[in-house]
Amino acid sequence: MFHFPLSINSDPSWFKPSYPQLKKRRKLNKTHCHLYNHSMSPVPITPIMVGHIVDVQELRRSKPMKIPTRFVRAMEERPTLETVAMPPPCEVPVVDLSKLMSGTKEVSNAEISQLAAACQEWGFFQVVNHSIDLGLLERIEDMAKDFFMLPLEEKQKYPMAPGTVQGYGQAFVFSEDQKLDWCNMFALGIEPKFIRDPKLWPKSPPEFSELVETYSMEVRKLCQSLLKYISTSLGLRGNVFEEMFGVAVQAIRMNYYPPCARPDLVLGLSPHSDGSALTVLQQGKGSSVGLQILKDNKWVPVHPIPNAFVINIGDTIEVLTNGKYKSVEHRAVTHKEKDRLSIVTFYAPSYDVELGPMAEFVDKSNPCKYRRYNHGEYSKHYVTNKLQGKKALEFAKVQIENLS
Ligand code: OGA
Ligand code: NI
């Protein structure tokens, strides 16, 4: 969901609002806030009325007899809980990074083919043997859990203002009648440094910032390495995406899904594709199964493999490959008794990058499906609209005119 982008535009002041702006936004937090125009003029352009957003963990604690209507989904949106019984091969594919990196051509080529199939047919895969220290994964998971278990007042020291996507709260809420996700989030912009809002980085526990920093550096290297293999799997030069992306934008979001008495009525996270190039998701150990992806029009659960990351193709790669590798729609569902934690990294091009389908993927039989656009503009579009399947990508779709 967060999709990814944290930012509203490539103007750094969006991320780092001046203190008076921030104060004003915080004051408006409870009921409404304003979006600012592209030049970050202090003049509000569109008021957003989001109503009072109740904190899902607090709600869970109060054990209401009924799920509040703001969380109850329309019939057609409700999750089918008996997940599709797919035969075993119909599981999200697994890619072994150590094989991709293997010195033996045969081994690495075979794994590249696996990767190509995973990206083309699923848009999702789990990566094993990624060589990131497992102790680090455990530490960030414990720390994220501890953060969500803090008293509400403590977490609210880092508020996510409506219409923004960094801090603690619910992102992508733009109206009072919009359904809410059964989820609490805490998100931070990581790279480049100008997207950081230091006021939103928790002071306690003291090792929080250092751990997020170390983890993010490791995941950044993983993204760069995966992108290299993804471009190879497309028959492109290994460094083509890195060169194109400039200083990549990176964000982290921790999602905490408390148990829900009526998982059949609510969604943990609304269906969406990610606005990133690549997303790396770590699922908490012992978490319930919660992530589902839309495959052949059915919601398929992603069963966590211990110590693996779930990787998915984001909208940027779909555009660059003219739809060869698609960003697949996904959502999260909740569980009656178990909570769930995910730690998600979004990796995307620099905001000033212009992109569109690469010439290699466009010909007579594959006409160009997307226009060229500025990635900062796309990010802005993404974060200023509610999550709604793959709707955000319509921004870039070429209108096929019916000339008849
Ligand atoms: C996301 C996302 C799924 C999950 O944060 O973009 O898709 O399982 N999360 O938390
Ligand atoms: Ni997502």
Nearby residues of 114 by Cβ (< 8 Å), 6 or more positions away: 93, 95
CB count within 10 Å of CB 148 equals 19
Q: How many CB atoms lie within 10 A of CB 126?
A: 23
Q: 197 vs 256, 342, 394, CA distance in Å?
A: 21, 22, 30
Q: What is the pLDDT of residues 64-119, one digit of tens each?
A: 779 999 999 999 999 975 555 555 557 899 999 999 999 899 999 999 999 999 99
Residue 49, pLDDT score: 78
Q: Name the residue among 308, 314, 187 with its Cα closest to residue 256.
A: 187
Q: For the purposes of burial, counting CB atoms within 10 Å of the CB of 399, is it exposed (0-12), middle (13-18) or buried (19 or more)? A: exposed
Whole-number Å distance between alpha carbons of 291 and 311: 12
pLDDT of 23 above 60:
no
Give the nearest ligand 1 atom to 4 CA.
Answer: 6
* Closest by Cα among 112, 92, 93, 128 to 309: 128
For ligand 1, atom 6: residue with the closest CA: 1
What atom in ligand 1 is closest to the CA of residue 346? 6
Q: Which residue has the tokens 């969604």?
A: 267
The per-residue pLDDT for 87 is: 53
Report the range of poorest mean pLDDT among 309-323, 349-363, 386-400: 386-400
Q: What percent of the chain has pLDDT over 70?
A: 85
- Smallest CA-to-CA distance from 319 within 398, 387, 233 is with 398
Q: Ligand 2 center to residue 23 CA distance, Å?
A: 30
Kindly compute the dihedral angle of the four CA atoms of residues 130, 343, 350, 238, in this order, to the nearest 10 degrees: 20
Residue where the block lists tokens 């110590």: 307
pLDDT (tens digit per residue) in 115-136: 999 999 999 999 999 999 999 9
* Span of 4-13, 74-83, 288-297, 391-400 with lowest mean pLDDT: 4-13
Q: Do the Cβ atoms of 270 and 386 come closer than 8 Å?
A: yes
Query: How far is it, in rounded angstroms, from Cα 239 to Cα 159?
Result: 38
Residue written as token pair 């008495």: 261
pLDDT, residue 39, reads 34
Among the atoms of ligand 1, which is closest to the Cα of residue 185? 5
- Residues with a CB atom less than 6 Å from ligand 1: 1-3, 253, 255, 269, 274, 290-291, 330, 332, 342, 344
Interval 147-178: pLDDT, tens: 999 999 999 999 988 778 899 988 787 788 88
User: What are the tens digits of pLDDT across the range 221-257?
Assistant: 999 999 999 999 999 999 999 999 999 999 999 999 9
**Residues measured by CB to lie within 5 Å of ligand 2, the ion:** 274
Please name every residue paired with 46 in a beta bridge, in sequence order, or none if there are none: 35
Can you tell me which atom of ligand 1 is nearest the CA of 310? 8
Average the pLDDT over each of 9-23, 255-269, 361-375 and give the range with the smallest value.
9-23
What's 129's DSSP letter? -
DSSP reduced 3-state for 379: helix
Residue nearest to atom 2 of ligand 1 (CA): 1
CB atoms within 10 A of CB 255: 26
Instruction: Judge whether 367 and 281 are in contact, CB under 8 Å.
Output: no
Q: How far is the CA of 229 from the centre of ligand 2 (A)?
A: 21
The position carrying tokens 């030069």 is 237
